[in-house]
Chain A
């Protein structure tokens, strides 16, 4: 029974390359981090609900402390998510060994920047800026049809969507982490929103223009 369920879809290609263990590990890490943030949101909401019901004036007295605790818990999770995304982004462009080296350099630059500036946000911003630069290169190379990128999909539309989607995530993280008080916040946010929405549309809806169905979905990974 489960065997039937495991078959991904009717139009899938048996010849499509299986996902590597590295890709799968990154995906599972992403899912776990997203799940952890979701769980935190649920627990936080339940706590706030309980607080409003049992503590008079909860919003005036205990809410700032609640926000501080939530930020404190979410901080490491978001940092981990950003790092995983940073590892995921250049995998299209680089061989795994090079990727590991580049990722290590990026993390090191981020950590050193944070240490020198005394600001975790600055370190993250530098890290995200580097990741964004690499992803811009990936998107440009994808749009120009470069063959050096390691996508499984043969659909350029889906590949472009995937690249835009990841770039959008990075820019959104940059807005939240570093640009909240910057005059560039809204323009960068709108660019990220356009990339996320347009990228989602291309990555998830380009199937009809693809030669195989499954490969398009993998392009979105």
Chain B
């Protein structure tokens, strides 16, 4: 028998436990991130960079394991029941890269890339390590994945429990309908388990590509261009596949909504077009002066990536959190 009060109590206890983990993990990650920045920026401490980066990776991975446990418990505890029929509709398989955890996953991926990269390691690793450390810091300061997990989900599920407890069947039914739509077309859809991580992997690769492009422009060494291209082509595949699988999902989930040409979709298309143009132009690199065109396209593509990410939080519309 479903009890909204008991469920709310269990979820409160779960969030409290996660917060207790956060009291240990937040400072550990922040200290590791500070060590990474210090080792990357201070030449005297540069030899400690791999160790600091390893520590940051380890703390982020431990945090990710804790978050995985949290999501598993959430699957057990947060159940959706139809208040009219009493039928259990299902649980929530909340993806591990949405809301408060988005920046965290991106930071983890970039940290791993900074750790494992081989070509131009000495030149690229400090830049990528600092970027990863800043992302990790941002993930904890703005995302707060341990202190305030999944705020939108808990707000929505909390409203559903409150409506259930109110005794008003009509209100509870309305809350159920809204949450059931989110469960089926957002939280539990396979697409949300595949699309975001693919894009975060591509974003991480594009950060490495951009860093190498900047080095190529500054130092005028063709080998940096090679490295930039390798990371870009590595990122292009998950970007293409990730965006493609969004198309049938969008048709189904946003049926009736004006999603075509909405801000985030627009910018995502722009980013993909520019990376396509970059990789295409790069095929003719041997032509006189083409390296400039390729460099400009590489920089513009990365600017488009940043704008795409920012658009989610600035421009209203489908695929937006404004």
Interface on A for B, CB 8 Å cutoff? 1-2, 4-10, 12, 18-19, 24, 27-28, 30-31, 34-35, 37-39, 41-42, 44-45, 48-49, 52, 59, 63-64, 66-67, 70-71, 186, 189-190, 192-193, 196-197, 200-201, 204-205, 214, 217-218, 220-221
Residue numbers in A under 8 Å from B216 (CB-CB): 5
Residue numbers in B under 8 Å from A38 (CB-CB): 269-270, 273-274, 277, 300, 304
Q: A52-B315, A200-B240 are in contact. Are A34 and B291 (CB under 8 A)?
A: no
Contact between B222 and A5, CB atoms less than 8 A apart: yes
B155 lies within 8 A of chain A by Cβ: no
B166 nearest CB across to chain A (Å): 31
CB-contacts of B70-88 with A (<8 A): none
Task: Determine which of B226, B244, B286, B317 lies in contact with A48 in the assembled complex, contact meaning CB atoms within 8 Å.
Answer: B317
Q: A27-B280, A193-B241 are in contact. Are A37 and B273 (CB under 8 A)?
A: yes
Please measure, in the bound complex, the distance between the C-alpha atom of A198 and the C-alpha atom of B304, giving whole angstroms.
25
A51 nearest CB across to chain B (Å): 9
Contact between B237 and A218, CB atoms less than 8 A apart: no
Please, which residue of chain A has its CB at the minimum distance from the CB of B290? Answer: A6
A199 nearest CB across to chain B (Å): 10
Contact between A42 and B307, CB atoms less than 8 A apart: yes
A–B Cβ pairs within 8 angstroms, 21 of them: A5-B221, A6-B222, A6-B291, A10-B223, A10-B226, A12-B286, A27-B284, A30-B277, A31-B280, A31-B293, A38-B269, A41-B267, A41-B269, A44-B261, A45-B307, A71-B261, A201-B237, A205-B233, A214-B286, A217-B282, A221-B283
Task: Determine which of B222, B244, B288, B289 lies in contact with A8 in the assembled complex, contact meaning CB atoms within 8 Å.
Answer: B222
Contact between A66 and B282, CB atoms less than 8 A apart: no
Contact between B281 and A31, CB atoms less than 8 A apart: yes
Task: Determine which of B244, B276, B279, B314 lies in contact with A193 in the assembled complex, contact meaning CB atoms within 8 Å.
Answer: B244
Residue numbers in B under 8 Å from A205 (CB-CB): 233, 237
Q: A8-B286, A44-B261, A217-B282 are in contact. Are A200 and B273 (CB under 8 A)?
A: no
Q: A44-B266, A45-B311 are in contact. Are A24 and B287 (CB under 8 A)?
A: yes
A29 nearest CB across to chain B (Å): 10
Residue numbers in B under 8 Å from A45 (CB-CB): 263, 266-267, 270, 307, 311, 315
**19 extra A-B contacts, CB within 8 A, seeds A6-B285, A19-B287, A45-B266:** A1-B220, A2-B220, A6-B286, A6-B291, A9-B226, A27-B280, A27-B284, A31-B293, A35-B273, A38-B269, A48-B266, A48-B316, A189-B247, A189-B248, A190-B248, A201-B237, A204-B236, A214-B286, A221-B283
Please measure, in the bound complex, the distance between the C-alpha atom of A4 and the C-alpha atom of B263, giving whole angstroms.
40
B260 lies within 8 A of chain A by Cβ: yes
Please, which residue of chain B has its CB at the minimum distance from the CB of A203? Answer: B233
Please, which residue of chain B has its CB at the minimum distance from the CB of A14? Answer: B286
Interface size bucket, B side? 35 or more
**Closest A-B pairs by Cβ, 10 of them:** A41-B270, A34-B277, A1-B220, A38-B270, A38-B273, A193-B244, A204-B233, A41-B266, A49-B315, A31-B277
A201 nearest CB across to chain B (Å): 6
B297 lies within 8 A of chain A by Cβ: yes
Task: Determine which of B221, B244, B274, B277 lies in contact with A197 in the assembled complex, contact meaning CB atoms within 8 Å.
Answer: B244
Please measure, in the bound complex, the distance between the C-alpha atom of A190 and the C-alpha atom of B244, giving whole angstroms.
9
Residue numbers in A under 8 Å from B260 (CB-CB): 67
Q: A8-B285, A196-B240 are in contact. Are A63 and B258 (CB under 8 A)?
A: yes
B41 nearest CB across to chain A (Å): 28
Contact between A196 and B277, CB atoms less than 8 A apart: no
